[in-house]
Amino acid sequence: MRKFVIGTATESVIRVLSDFNKKGLISINGKSIRIKNHAGLKNCI
């Protein structure tokens, strides 16, 4: 498992994760985030 530390406001991270989740790129379950579409997520970065 990889863990990353970034200097970003919590609200910004929550907003981005929510957008990725709505687009079907990731799934969120509690404290776990699962990448469902690697290529799609890579295109967003």
Q: What is the C-alpha separation between 42 and 25, in angstroms, rounded?
A: 10
Q: What is the C-alpha separation between 15 and 9, in angstroms, rounded?
A: 10
3-state class (DSSP) for residue 26: strand
pLDDT for the residue 7: 75
pLDDT bin (cut points 50, 70, 90) of residue 24 is very high
pLDDT for the residue 1: 58
- Integer CA distances (angstroms), 10 to 17, 30, 40, in order: 11, 16, 23
The answer to whether residues 36 and 25 touch, using CB atoms and an 8 Å cutoff, is yes
Of 21 and 9, the structure prediction assigns the larger pLDDT to: 21
Mean pLDDT of all residues in 1-8? 66
Please determine, for residue 8, whether its predicted confidence score (pLDDT) is greater than 80.
no
This prediction's pTM: 0.76
pLDDT for the residue 27: 97
